[in-house]
Chain A
Amino acid sequence: MARTPEGKRLTDAHKRAQIRLGALAAALTVENSKRLDVDDLDGTREAWLTTQAAIIEALRRRSEILAEDYLRAFWKAEGIKPSELAELDLKPAREVMAWVVPVIKTRKAKYAAGG
């Protein structure tokens, strides 16, 4: 919890920036879905997944940088001795999004069967 007005301001600004980044990720994901042809999922999957993973990785890095900048500025504003910034070990975005095409296929089959 921030103890100084500047700390509060930085925290609010960081929150807003992160929320915007999340909204951008969602919007780009919807936009990128145009690469995925529902009638040719196997043929279009690779191009979609490569771009989708790149979107997430790039924005993750941006999210990390925002957080690092925020922490350094926050510590300085609050007069706190800086800690060592943690190194993240997140699951690769490609793996994270791998479920999408199989799920579309399953649902497609379900709909075709009248389910």
Chain B
Amino acid sequence: MPRAVDQAKAATIGEAASQAQYEVLRAGREKVQQSAPRWRRVTDGNPCGFCAMVCSRGPAYRSADAAGQGRRYHGHCGCTVEPFYGDPKTWVPTPDEARFIQAYDAAWKPGIKTRDLSDDIGAWLAGNPAGSIEVRFGRTLDAADGSTKPLKGHGPGRPLTPDEYNNAPSSLTDYEYHYIADPDDRATAILQYNCDTEQWAKTAARNIKAGRDPFDGIDLEAPQEEGFLGDTLADAHLRGDRYTLTDLRADLEGTARKLVEWESKTEDLGTAYKGMNFDMDMSWDEVRALLDFRGLSYNSVASDLNTASLYAGRADRSRSVYVHFEDATGIRLDSVGGHASKTESLVTGDFEIVSTRIEPDGIGYGDVMIVNVRRTA
């Protein structure tokens, strides 16, 4: 049993290690902060309430002194800073940042003290984990009947007014793709909204390319896994909602044909990232055995690591894998909102694993696997 004095030392050294981390990163932070015209804080995706609050302000800071935040970073803080150039009004929040802004709006009250505000923001974020809420930035789509529908997604476009936000569809089935008149937008939505329609459309596209029936191997009425797939359009059909199986088949096949069409116009995506997470009970060897990117097609990727990290999950809760695609080519999707990432793209082509390594995630949750892949010659 450790002596109490050894425990005293261990606890203090733990704090010292945290401070050492902070002091070292501070040098790089302040170099960037003081040399860049404006800067913004970027979180590790799972910030404390204070850091989320600062992050929600965007590129508001001209210098460390003007921001006054230099001394407020803390141990085990995964935040960094990024320079921002140009008009701060052109700043478009990432999905994470949009969520922090919502947390700020929900927590702010007249006269509230900063410490209370950051505590309340932290509590709000804990109760509304990433992916559980809609974000408020999106675009308006023209519906087939001539009306328009604002979407709550975070794609390019203008912020919604409060009225638009309150009246916008709030669940997946509310969207109904009949509201999306443009065939490209409708196909994009189907690829982005949820796992079922996305996977079915991709399978249908592969079938079409192989000369098979588009729905070969696809069972649209198979029982769905509870919860995760609970909002699928197939469920809407099974519940007897207005969206029929005929509608679903037509939309999936339309999307598949769009995919095949778009594949002939692939573009250079540069470096792309994909976050994957596996069951915590698996060993790294088991995870590695499942990674196979040969014959890869229509694989969703993000152009920034932060977005990909949302899908990799926290390292203490899953086997988190970050896949780095070098010189990726594929289809760039223009987000139409909902659950999509504005940086989402679909990689096409054959890829091979160049290297894998396991390293600490750098923020204290555990190890992650970094996988580098490149196109086969």
Contacts and interface: CB of A to CB of B under 8 A. Distances in A.
Interface stretch (B77-85, B182-190, B249-257): B77-85
A61 B12 CA distance: 25
Given A22-B362, A29-B20, A1 B32 contact: no
A97 B31 CA distance: 21
Given A22-B21, A71-B35, A111-B5, A88 B27 contact: yes
Interface string B11-40: 111111111111111111111111111001
A21 B6 CA distance: 27
Contacts of B12: 100, 103-104, 107
Contacts, number: 171
Interface string A6-31: 10110110111011111111111110
Contact of B82 (A5, A11, A25, A111): A11
A93 interface: yes
Contacts of B270: 5-6, 9
A19 B82 contact: no
A10 B36 CA distance: 15
Contact of B19 (A11, A12, A70, A96): A96
B302 to A, nearest CB: 10
B23 A1 contact: no
Contacts of B35: 67, 71, 83-86
B317 interface: no
B116 interface: no
B30 A30 contact: no
A73 interface: no
A6 B166 CA distance: 38
A88 B30 contact: yes
A1 B16 contact: no
A19 B9 contact: no
B80 A5 contact: no
B255 to A, nearest CB: 27
Contacts of B83: 71, 74
Given A16-B305, A83-B36, A29 B31 contact: no
Contact of B362 (A16, A39, A63, A71): A16
A104 B9 contact: yes
B23 A33 contact: no
A71 B37 contact: no
Given A9-B271, A84-B35, A104-B9, A19 B363 contact: yes
Interface in A49-80: 52, 55-56, 59-64, 66-68, 70-71, 74, 78, 80
Given A33-B13, A111-B4, A26 B20 contact: yes
Nearest to B7: A111
A6 to B, nearest CB: 7
A36 B24 contact: no
Contacts of B26: 60, 63, 90
A5 B303 contact: yes
B19 A97 contact: yes
B304 interface: yes
Nearest to A80: B85
Contact of B24 (A59, A100, A107): A59
A90 B359 CA distance: 30
Contacts of A71: 31-32, 35-36, 83
A90 B305 contact: no
Interface in B297-327: 303-306
Given A1-B85, A38-B9, A103-B15, 18 more contacts: A1-B91, A2-B82, A3-B86, A5-B303, A12-B273, A22-B21, A29-B17, A52-B16, A52-B20, A60-B23, A60-B26, A60-B27, A64-B31, A86-B34, A104-B9, A107-B12, A108-B4, A112-B4
11 contacts: A6-B270, A19-B78, A25-B24, A29-B13, A33-B9, A36-B9, A63-B25, A63-B28, A67-B29, A71-B31, A107-B8
Interface of B: 4-9, 11-37, 40, 42, 59, 78, 80, 82-86, 91, 270-271, 273, 303-306, 359-360, 362-363
Interface of A: 1-3, 5-6, 8-9, 11-12, 14-16, 18-30, 33, 36, 38-39, 52, 55-56, 59-64, 66-68, 70-71, 74, 78, 80, 83-86, 88, 90, 93, 96-97, 100, 103-104, 107-108, 110-112
